[in-house]
Amino acid sequence: MTDAVGIAWTTLPSREEADRLAGDAVAAGLAACAQVEGPLRSHYTWEGRVQAEDEYRLTFKFAAAKARDLETWVHARHPYAVPQWLVVQADHASPGYRAWVLGIR
């Protein structure tokens, strides 16, 4: 659906990297909004070992029609070999917010 709002999440190892990716995605017109949260503590298995690291969550709000472009763009700039990339479509967005997100060029 091209007139839907998408929401995507990734995590980054530092606030600086998260802020840079957030700002650059908005400046490129791929996301209407990008929010940085953290630090948060992530526990995960990587290369057979349980690990724990502080990370910063980056949440994007964007026109669903831009989903593939945003994903490609983020992956090309992400420092992780296998970045988290989770995307959902908003079941509902208020008319004004939806219009704003979809109006970003």
Per-residue tens of pLDDT for the chain, all 105 residues? 568 999 999 999 999 999 999 999 999 999 999 999 999 999 999 999 999 999 999 999 999 999 999 999 999 999 999 999 999 999 999 999 999 999 987
- The burial of 6, by beta-carbon neighbours within 10 Å (0-12 exposed, 13-18 middle, 19 or more buried), is given as buried
Q: Domains in the chain, start-ordered, CATH in brackets?
A: 5-103 (3.30.70.120)
Task: Of 3, 1, 7, give the one whose Cα is nearest residue 32.
Answer: 7
Give the Cα separation of 2 and 34 in Å (integer).
20
Both tokens of 97, joined, read 């917010």
Asked if 20 and 73 touch (Cβ cutoff 8 Å), the reply is: no
